[in-house]
Structures are given as C-alpha cells and as structure tokens.
Structure 1
Amino acid sequence: MQPIVIVGSGMAGYTLAREYRKLNKEQELIMICADDAASYAKPTLSNALAGNKQPAQIALADATKMAEQLNMRIETHAWVNHIDAEKHQLSYVQNQQTVELGYSKLILAVGANPIRLAISGDGSDDIHVVNSLTDYRAFREQLDQKQDKRIAILGAGLIGCEFANDLQHTGYQTTVIDLAPQPLGRLLPQYVAEEFQKKLHESGIKFILGTTVEKISKVKRHYVVTLENGHSLAADLVLCAVGLQPNIDIAKHAKIETSRGILTNSLMETNQPDIYAVGDCAEVNGLLLPYVMPIMQQARALAKTLVGQHTHVHYPAMPVAVKTPAAPLTVLPVPHNVDVNWETEHFEDGMLSKAVDSEGTIRGFVLLGATAAKQRLALTKLVPDLIPPQA
C-alpha cells in the first residue's frame, strides 16, 4: 500500500499524525514540510517574552525526534510543486532535486500566510511578520539588538493585541495602528472594544485607529512610520499582524475547490478523491476557524476516517481565550450569517456580553475581566454546535 502523506508540519499536521498513530502504528506515514519541521505550539509565540522563553526553548522537539516518536519519515526543507490527483502522485523539490512520490491518502495541512500590506519607503522591507518559529527567531534577534524600545504594530486584531500586551509587559513601548475604528473589530461589539482598548491603554499600549501606514523610512538606527492621516511616529521595529490568508495555491493547481480556504465537507474531504485538508487552510462546511480547538477536532475526526472509521468533524461551541492579561478576554465569535442583539451585564472589573438571536438563543459571547470569565463554561453549554455530531 502506498504511504499516507501529510504536507505541512504545523500544529494541524503533527496533531493529525499523533491521533493517527494512536489508531494505526504500522501504516507508512510521510510528512513533507518547507521548514525544519520543529514541533511547537504557535500560540506560545505571542506571549513568549512574558513567559521568559527564548526561541530555542519554544520548540518541543526537532524533526529527528518527531520522526522517531511517530514512526514517520519527515522530509524537511521540501516544497510540493505538483499534485496529480488522478494518479495519486505528487512531486516535491528538495536540495534542488525533484522527487516523485505516490500516495494512498494525501492531507494538506499547509496553513496560512501573513497578509502583507503594500507600503512604500526604504524601510518597508524590514517589516517583520510572525507566523512561525522561524519568523519569531528573526523578530527576537532584531528585538534583542535594539537599544531603544519603540515598537509599532500594524493590526489591532487578535495577534496584534496579544503581541502588544506581551511587548508592553516586558518593557517595550508599543503603538498599535489599524484602519478599523476599534481593536478586535470583527470579534467585539463597539462598547466592549472600547472598554478592552481602555484597559490596554491603561497598561501603556497606545492605539492609532482609523488610519493606516503609507510609508516607512529608515532614519539612522530607527524608522519613521508615516500614516495616511498625515501624522508620523518613530519606531525601532515594525511588526505587521493584519491577518492570515490560507495557503490555497497548491490546491488550486491540483483542481481542488477553494474559496477563502481549501473547501472540505465534514469528513475533511476535498472534491478530489483521497485528498483532505486540515488546519488554518481548511474551510469546513463554509467555516474557516484558524484556532486551536477546531484543529484538534479536525485531527481527531480525520484520523479515524483514515483508518476506515468514517467520522464527521464535530464543532461544539469553542470559545477563544485572548492572551492579553492586561485585559483578560474570552470570545465566542458569532457565526457570520446570524443576526443578533447584544445583552450586557457590567462588573467592577469588566463585562459579560451575550449575542442573542431572534429566538432568544445565545449564539456567541464576550467575557471581559476575571469576574465575567467565571461564566465561560456555563455559557458555552447554552450555545448550539457549529457543526453538530453526525452518526
């Protein structure tokens, strides 16, 4: 029998391999990845400074150790450049050599790439993005070399706010810039966002909202960040965290259907036989959820399917804990196609906001502060599943 091939060594790829090995110890598994295949938890990157972790301490195991643990062949620094779905074959480039490989099942766990803004100026090439341990090593290397500590962060979304909190907590002066009028614009109602921003501001984080960066110029040892509103600020390092875009190019070339991500059904199947997708690249039944819990649910279900126990993924309500200790926040995002009204309860240290649909059902919530956080479990039980369990 041909091997099962996993493309990608992120959390999705490794979690799937672990779950599969619990069910089948012998089937040949091959992982192909573009980097060094170190195993680590990506969420730890945005609070590593506060946790006093150096990049070398973040990796849990290298490729050699993971290959041994999972009885799996791992091809590092290798790029898949062609998939022939009909022949169940792919090719990848490694050390400037093209390698052909047949597969019985192919799993695309290719993740997402950071969105890069079109910014002019001779400093624009120095903008950092952090979407991998490799990125983070480069970021920390530059950070450690800076005598001054002014950091500009482009993007007031989840990752931007987490990095801002981590940097500010460890002595850096952070300024967060976003075109939106509020932080976490896609997740929070306005009045919660205002309170969240206020708490982060009180910790020292500055926000410049309603405008974007036009130009970044090098001036001696720092940068001048020029905004579209005509203002400018000095920064010693610029980090871009405006969001992620699923990697769908290799899927498109293989005639796999894509939309925002690689389209799959609840069995994680694409439209091509024996090709599946998991993780940040997978759009499951129209849902694109780049968070840890959905990845775990996908990997457990797909592992069973791969051993012949056809298992549909189950998405219960899965709240997201935002790593901003200066303003503790838990969010259960409201499904895009649901109209809701927000009902809010205020506490001394924050608030609880429930998103209620026309039938009186809670479809999402926001918990700001330690008092509200205590109601997380009770509220989660009241929210309908995003994808119900199937027999």
Structure 2
Amino acid sequence: MSLSSVVVVGSGLAGYTVVRELRRLDSDVSITLLSADHAGFYSKPMLSNALATGKIPDAIINSSAEQMAEQLSITIRPYTHVDAIDTSERSVHFENGAPLVYSHLVLAVGANPVRLPILGDGADEILSINNLDDYRKFRENLEDKRHVAILGAGLIGCEFANDLAAKRYQVTVFDVSSQPLGRLLPPEAGQFFRDKLTTAGVNFVLDTAIEKIDKVNGSYYLHYRDGGMVQADMVLSAVGLQPHTNLATATGIQINRGIVIDRYLQTSIQNIYALGDCAEVAGKVLPFILPISYAGRALAATLAGNPTLLRYPAMPVMVKTPACPTIVAPPAAEAEGIWKVETVENGMKALYQDKVGNLLGFALLGAATSERGALTALLPPILD
C-alpha cells in the first residue's frame, strides 16, 4: 500500500522513530519530515551524561539530516517552522514558501522546558537543556566555570548533577521537595539516593524554592527563604517539561495536559496524529524512550494500512546516575498500595504492592538493579 504523502513535524526520537518504522513497512510512501532545527539524529538522553563520558556536542550527532534523508529515502526540511495547519485543505503552511499538502500528518513536536517565575536580573540567563543546541550553549558557557547551581532534583536534574560532579565541578541542587526524585522514590530510597550523590560531590538544598537571582560581576546570587543565598557561576534549570501544544491548539485540536490522542494515536481531527513528549493518551504523558518506541511502531502500522492499537507494557525507567544506579517503575497514579522497603548489600529495593501482595511498582537502587528483569515481569501493563 502507498499513501499520497505523510508529513511529520519534528525531528526528535519520536519523529524519526515513526518515519523509520513506516519506511520499513512501506518502501514507496512519500514522507516529508519538517524540523525547526538542523534535523540531525542523536540520542537526547545522552546529553545528561555526555560530560563524564567525554562526548563533545558535535560527536553526539549520529547522522546528519542529509544522511538520514538518504538512509530513509525521505525529504527532510531543516530549519522549517510550521506556522499553521489548514485541516480543510490538509496542508501545512510556512512563513515563506508554498503550503505542503498531506494525506496524514504526524505531530512529534516534543515539549518545552518549564520556566519558573523567578525575580532578579540574573533570572533571564538561567539555562535549560532540551536539545543539542541548548547543550552546545551549556558546554560553551561551562568552560571557565566551577560552581553550577541546578534548579530541580528530578530525574534530569540529578543526572546532570552527577555528570558535573564526576568532572569535579561544584554542584548545588535546589528543589521544593524534601528529597531528590520525589515523584519516583519512597522517602527511604530518596534518602539512600541523596546520600550516594552527596558522597559523589553533589550538594542538595531541599524544601527550598529560589525566589530571586541577581547577577553581580559575572556571578549569580541565588536567594531563597529566610535570607539564604548561594553564589554560583552558572544556573541550570531542570524543573520539568511541558508538552508543546501551541500548533495543535491553534489548529483546534483537543488539548489537556498534552495533545489528546486515542489508542490509534489520532488526535481529535481526522488524519492528524501525535506521539512523543507532546502527546497524551489515556490521561498519560510519558516522556521516555520506551513509550516512544512502542508508539512509533503502532502508528507506523496504522499509517501503512494496518490499524494498530497502542499498548504499553510495564516500562521501567533507568536514572543515569552512576553514583547510585537507579531503576524505577512508578505505580500508576490511581494505584492503591504501600511501599515495602528493604536494604540489601550495596543497594536498596522498594516494592509497591496492593493489599494482597500484587506488585504495582518498584524502585531499585545500587546492586538491587540486578532484579529489574524478574520484577518487571510481575508488573501489570501500563496500557493494555
């Protein structure tokens, strides 16, 4: 089967995954991928540990846009911003150039970093890392710095903290939570994790919100409650991501936390689909690698003429913190159970179980990560 034209907006892992899977199923379909940046293919998760592994920004790119276009036999248009979607004409529009007609449109536009409402003349210079260009700017600014303040002790904040500390940078991590990885770990495991990263050189300032950042003579002064203050050479924000929904909203597509899609990854408008960090299915936004892989394969099959329901098995998440290897399978928000925490040799195991002992989630730290496979097999699927 051949479609007239599939247009994919976004060149991150989600966009390239659905394109790669679709090309595997259909060698003839016309595919055009539109990218707001250079459209090179790289692993975004690699950014948070590239420093310690010795990867310079240019070495992170696996294939250029030209190479990807040749490999996949597709048209790639880098540095192309979509201004509007005309659903009646099935076309995407740009500031310059003729509209591009599609038979099926895929939105893989990702997410944007959350920006905190912080006062002070240094607040506008807070860095965030959401793509390779952001990371390149971060590395350029890092060259003559020694102390980095990180806002957010979630997964990404802790990964960057570990990466910086491994290269002997002074690192201070702030969070409003009482523990790192507050949304992923029970308190005992959170303390274990904190202790390991502290030993590695990360300083945590928790239960604390930064209210103001002043810049004086090239240094940043982070002010928090009760007159507390920390001086740093750079400030990095890692407080979370917000699905990019502007284009979908302007098109009239249903939005909740993300772009709402059904189990076939179709939005509220026929022949427009979404996947990746921008999408919400069954009330879930899952900005991780495995969900994108499953979604990409399912959507490609649907686009190739074999409507395929999206299913998510249990998908544990690996936290890339070598100072404390951690794998988590968070229980569903609606799950009712309790954490049972056990200290093991060189690690900690936390199991989230219901009242009859069924496993609903887990957190494995240190040596306990070896139990990932056996415990994952006991978990219920995320989306069956």
> What are the within-5 Å matches in structure 2 for residues 134-173 of structure 1?
134-144=133-143, 146=144, 148-173=145-170
Name the counterpart of 1:364. Answer: 361
Name the counterpart of 1:21. Answer: 23
Task: Summarize deviations over 1:78-122 as a string: whole Å, max 9, x none.
Answer: 1111112232122123xxx14311100000000000001111212
- Aligned-pair Cα RMSD in Å: 1.1
Q: Structure 2: where are the runs of 5+ without partners?
A: none
Instruction: After TM superposition, give the deviation of residue 241 of structure 1 in Å.
Output: 0.3
Name the counterpart of 1:259. Answer: 256
- Cα separation, 1, equivalents of 2:337 and 2:254: 31
- Cα separation, 1, equivalents of 2:328 and 2:358: 17
Task: Summarize deviations over 1:331-378 as a string: whole Å, max 9, x none.
Answer: 0011111122111221121211111123432111000112x1111000
- Cα separation, 2, equivalents of 1:41 and 1:35: 15
Q: 1:191 is paired with a residue of what secondary structure?
A: helix
- Cα separation, 2, equivalents of 1:248 and 1:4: 20
Counterpart of 1:204 (choices 201, 204, 213) is 201
Name the counterpart of 2:60. Answer: 58
Name the counterpart of 2:336. Answer: 339
Instruction: After TM superposition, give the deviation of residue 159 of structure 1 in Å.
Output: 0.2
Counterpart of 1:384 (choices 367, 371, 380) is 380
For 1:382, the aligned partner's letter is L
1:130 matches 2:129: yes
Task: Summarize deviations over 1:29-63 as a string: whole Å, max 9, x none.
Answer: 00111111111000000000111000010011111
Note if contact 1:211-1:229 (Cα within 8 Å) is conserved in structure 2.
no
- Cα separation, 1, equivalents of 2:268 and 2:234: 44
Task: Summarize deviations over 1:95-150 as a string: whole Å, max 9, x none.
Answer: xx143111000000000000011112121121110000000000000001x1x410
TM-score (ref. length: structure 2) = 0.97
Counterpart of 1:40 (choices 35, 42, 46) is 42
Counterpart of 2:229 (choices 232, 235, 240) is 232
- Cα separation, 2, equivalents of 1:252 and 1:26: 32
Q: 1:33 and 1:349, CA in 2 relative to 1: closer, same or farther beyond 3 A?
A: same
Instruction: After TM superposition, give the deviation of residue 191 of structure 1 in Å.
Output: 1.3
The runs of 4+ residues in structure 1 deviating greater than 6 Å are: none
- Cα separation, 2, equivalents of 1:359 and 1:123: 53
Instruction: After TM superposition, give the deviation of residue 222 of structure 1 in Å.
Output: 1.6
1:192 matches 2:189: yes
> What are the within-5 Å matches in structure 2 for residues 269-288 of structure 1?
269-288=266-285
Instruction: After TM superposition, give the deviation of residue 194 of structure 1 in Å.
Output: 1.0
Alignment length, in residue pairs? 382
Counterpart of 1:214 (choices 199, 211, 216) is 211
Counterpart of 1:246 (choices 243, 248, 268) is 243
- Cα separation, 1, equivalents of 2:97 and 2:208: 46
1:296 matches 2:293: yes
The worse-fitting range, judged by mean Cα deviation, of 262-271 and 350-359 is 350-359
Q: 1:80 and 1:359, CA in 2 relative to 1: closer, same or farther beyond 3 A?
A: farther
Note if contact 2:188-2:341 (Cα within 8 Å) is conserved in structure 1.
no
Name the counterpart of 1:317. Answer: 314
Q: 1:364 is paired with a residue of what secondary structure?
A: strand
Give me the identity figure in percent.
47
Note if contact 1:55-1:133 (Cα within 8 Å) is conserved in structure 2.
yes
For 2:25, the aligned partner's letter is L
- Cα separation, 1, equivalents of 2:182 and 2:113: 18
Q: 1:134 is paired with a residue of what secondary structure?
A: helix
Note if contact 1:2-1:102 (Cα within 8 Å) is conserved in structure 2.
no
1:329 matches 2:326: yes
Instruction: After TM superposition, give the deviation of residue 164 of structure 1 in Å.
Output: 0.0
- Cα separation, 2, equivalents of 1:80 and 1:357: 47
Note if contact 2:8-2:33 (Cα within 8 Å) is conserved in structure 1.
yes
Q: 1:225 is paired with a residue of what secondary structure?
A: strand
Q: Structure 1: where are the runs of 5+ without partners?
A: none
Name the counterpart of 1:81. Answer: 83
Task: Summarize deviations over 1:276-301 as a string: whole Å, max 9, x none.
Answer: 10101111121111000000000011
Name the counterpart of 2:114. Answer: 115
- Cα separation, 2, equivalents of 1:138 and 1:228: 30
Instruction: After TM superposition, give the deviation of residue 228 of structure 1 in Å.
Output: 2.9
- Cα separation, 2, equivalents of 1:360 and 1:79: 51
Name the counterpart of 2:100. Answer: 101
